Structure formats: structure tokens, C-alpha cells
Amino acid sequence: MNYKFLPYGRQTIDDEDIAAVVAALRSDWLTTGPAVAGFESAVCAYTGAEHGIAVSNGTAALHAAMFALGIGQGDEVIVPPMTFAASSNCVLYQGGTPVFADVAPETLLIDPTAVEAAITPRTKAIIAVDYAGQPCDWDALRDIADRRRLHLVADSCHSIGGGYRGQKVGTLADITVFSFHPVKHITTGEGGMAVTKDEALATRMRTFRGHGITTTATEREKIGGWFYEMVDLGYNYRITDFQCALGISQLSKLDAWVARRNTLAHFYDIFFAAHPEMGIRPLKRNEDTVHAYHLYVVKHPQRDTTFQYLRNNGVGANIHYIPVHLHPYYRKNLGAHEGMCPVAEAAYREILTLPLWPSMTDADVTRVCNLLRAYSHGQ
């Protein structure tokens, strides 16, 4: 039988989303208009943050965060190795130095003990990643940040819609960053946002998004003026109105999608618990958190051959991630090497990301589970 290919993640777009984008295209504003401000307010209302700065992608939002916090040459920022390279590249963009703190073996979330051990007199900030959608131990990280006077940034590109001890993701760090790439929970095609409750940080990030210029073209048009000043070296990290119209429409479905992701993850959990002979171990789920399940990651004893078997059978398994410090750029330019983060390096050999997205059917999950079982029985 011929099945459709199941990628590890994908967007869900409905007629309402399409109508929202069409309406934006027919409006007077294609960029930096009411939909951008509307999307920022909607994400703030949803997360409980006070200021939102929508930008062209999640990486730009991370860069804006590093700029706003004044990270520069000689500054160290602590980052986890088990993440997408953008989490630490943003430190390099500003001339700072990322310092890797290893993750905990069961959750692959940054280990607060390793963070504390990585602090030096040059440390300025911690970037923690809610890996796979599970919020980090934010109380422990906040305690370290306060005691050691460090800024705390959440790379929550995996965890919008998640929560920790009664608080929504978006309010747990000084600045929280989201991505709206199609594999993430909600999409704008490409897009990102930084949220904060600090007005000064928000102003700096807003200026950074638009070339470091103090007023936007829209604001100047409103007052009928022409004068502007460039006060910082910013970038063009703007996002369009039609993208943000899509974002607003997508956000209205986020809660239902996070719930569906949890249901599907639970389905996998139950299956693997019922078949211990397969040797598949899902990552640990912490108490007191709302897991947003961006990724469903397991540890698998025959990871490489299983990956190939799934791919050969139309299932787009994936690996998240190659530890960042092992990439050639980091080895060459930062002297990073094997052995720096043994927990992440050991996990990397075993982790496998299985398909998970909200419009996946129960039958799709069953198909993945049955393939895995058939393969393990054939071994």
C-alpha cells in the first residue's frame, strides 16, 4: 500500500488563515501596519507579556535580544549545546562568546548546576532553550540569574503555549523569543517575536528591528514629518502585515493544537510503555509544567538503522540536534571539541524525533508505532 509521506512536523493552514492573508493583501498596508501591531498585542495577551516586537524570523528576535541586553566583545553568554545553532549564533553576531553548559540526561534541558559551574566574571547572560517544548527549570535559572546578576533569556521557539508552575511561557525570562517557522506551533511563513515586560528593552529591540532609527515610516507619515535619526546600528528585521495577519489567525488555534500535540505524544508514550522490549525511551516529562510538544523525541538503541528504516517507509524521522559545539564552525573558531558536553554528546547518538503535528491523525501515529515495532521484531 502507498502511504503519504509523514514529515516530523508541518504547518496546519485552513480557509480562515487564507482569508486573513487575502484581506491583509487587499488592505492599505503590506508591511509595518495594523496587523503587525495586532499580532504583537495578541501574543502579549496570550502569554501575559507586556511588549512584543515582531521580526522577520526567530533568529532575528534572538539577535535583537542580545543587542538589547548590550552583549558585546568580551562578554560571555551561557547556552545549551542541545539546540538549533541560532540559539548561540546570536551571541556571536554581537561579538560575544557563547559558553556551553551541558543538559540533563533525562530531559535534555539545560542543567542549572552546569550553568552555575560555567559562570565566570565575564558572564553577562543565560539563554535557556525549552527543548522539544518542555519548559526549563525556570525557578532554578531565575535564582542563579538573580544571585549572579545575569540577564535571563528564554529561547522558547519550541514552547509557545507551554507553561511552568502556573505561569505561561513568555513571562519566565527577561526576554522570551518565539519562531513562527512552518514546523513550529504557529506560523507566519518566516517570522519571530521577542516579548518582555521591560519597556526599555522593548524600545531597544524595536529600534534595532528598523535600522536603529528612532521613528518608523508609519509614525512619520502620521505626524506629517520627514526628520529621523539613526541612533544605533540596527538591521532591517521587519515582518510584513500579511504574515502577521496569518499569525493572528494561527494564534487563535494554538491552545487546541497544543492539546492535540499532547494527545498524540501520550499515544506514543503509552505504546512504548506497553512494548518495553522495543527499548524505546521517551524523554522525561517534568511535573508542574505544560509541555508544548514541539518535538516528540525518544532515545533509541539502534537509532541510525531505525532512522533509515522509517525514512525508507515514508516516515520523516529526524535528529534534533547535532550538539552545537560539534559543528565545524564552533570547533574551528571557538576551539570547541568532543568531551565538552558529555551528556549532550551521548544523547546525540541515541535521539530520534518522531512525527508530531496537530493535524496528524491517530492512524498516522499508529502507522509510525507499528513500523517501529515491526522493525524491532525483525532485528
Site for ligand PLP, rule CB under 6 A: 57-59, 83-84, 86-87, 129, 155, 157-158, 179, 181, 192
CB of 11 or CB of 59, closer to ligand PLP: 59
Q: Which residues pair with 123 in a beta bridge?
A: 76
Residues 81, 87: Cα–Cα separation, whole Å: 9
CB of 67 or CB of 309, closer to ligand PLP: 67
Q: C-beta of 313: minimal distance to ligand PLP in Å?
A: 26
Closest CA to 209 of 19, 59, 24: 59
Residue 299, all three cell numbers: 532515545
Residues 236, 368: Cα–Cα separation, whole Å: 42
- Active-site residue flag, 332: no
Rg over alpha carbons for the chain, rounded to the nearest Å, is 21
Q: C-beta of 239: minimal distance to ligand PLP in Å?
A: 11
CB of 20 or CB of 129, closer to ligand PLP: 129
Nearest to ligand PLP by Cβ — which residue? 58
Closest CA to 293 of 132, 160, 131, 182: 132
CB of 151 or CB of 158, closer to ligand PLP: 158
What are the CA-CA distances from residue 157 to residues 17, 55, 101, 209, 265 (Å)? 21, 13, 19, 18, 19
C-beta of residue 228 within 8 angstroms of C-beta of residue 218: no
Q: Which of 124, 168, 184, 299 is catalytic?
A: 184
Q: C-beta of 5: minimal distance to ligand PLP in Å?
A: 22
Q: C-beta of 83: minimal distance to ligand PLP in Å?
A: 5
Any idea which residues carry the catalytic annotation?
184
